Chain A
Amino acid sequence: QVQLQESGPGLVKPSETLSLTCTVSGYSISSGYFWGWIRQPPGKGLEWIASMYHSGSTYYDLSLKSRVTISVDTSKNQFSLKLNSVTAADTAVYYCARKKSAYYHFDYWGQGTLVTVSS
């Protein structure tokens, strides 16, 4: 059974960098599929952030592209998200998920982790 688990600080100060890691079990990242991040601000809808293939192809939401980096560590079977220069608007539950391909659906999701941006 494929499982994803997000981890990282729950509180980040404004202007600093938000860093999250998603640990995958039950499937080897290097075997294929795309891996992505989605967020959900409190009381609002889902927002796609970025997706990448294990070998490097990446896609970013255009409104966040200048601040976001997604990367994969196949040796640890993990992938990560970095979002810099955060503001209160970046406060959200962040989910990691697996994607059949860039154009297809997200089939497995992590439980999500709340990140609050506040001083």
Chain B
Amino acid sequence: QSVLTQPPSVSAAPGQKVTISCSGSSSNIGNNYVSWYQQLPGIAPKLLIYENAKRPSGIPDRFSGSKSGTSATLGITGLQTGDEADYYCATWDSSLSGSVFGTGTTVTVL
């Protein structure tokens, strides 16, 4: 059972915006950086957002991250069919002394 909770799925039409929430606690999100990963079907996860809101080189600014208290949010604007994937949040859990991943969210472009 993951300690980080995400909605199972979100969907929107091409060009629209979606947000994915990641809910945790003070031992994880509340006191540590959050990262987000995109996993296209059959492919290894790819880093999308790190340190709550930073984008690695090559990641378009359509992807954004934010954190408030014990929750984090990934936003995707200008939705494209190529964005259909599973998205995972992750952070460090100080109580567990380990990394934790969210339950994952499937994004569908209608």
Interface residues of A (CB under 8 A from B): 36, 38, 45-48, 51, 59-62, 95, 99, 102-107, 109-112
- Cβ of B44 under 8 Å from chain A: yes
Main SS of the interface on chain B? strand
Name the one of A47, A59, A112 contacting B44, with C-beta atoms under 8 angstroms.
A112
Q: How far is the CA of A93 from the CA of B33 in the complex (A)?
A: 26
Instruction: Check B2–A36 contact: CB distance below 8 A.
Output: no
Instruction: Check B50–A107 contact: CB distance below 8 A.
Output: yes
Residues from chain B with a CB closer than 8 A to the CB of A110 are 44
Residues from chain A with a CB closer than 8 A to the CB of B45 are 38, 46, 95, 106, 109
Complex: chain A residue closest to B99, CB-CB: A48
Give B34-75 as 1s and 0s: 1 = Cβ < 8 Å from A's Cβ atoms. 010101000111110011000010000000000000000000
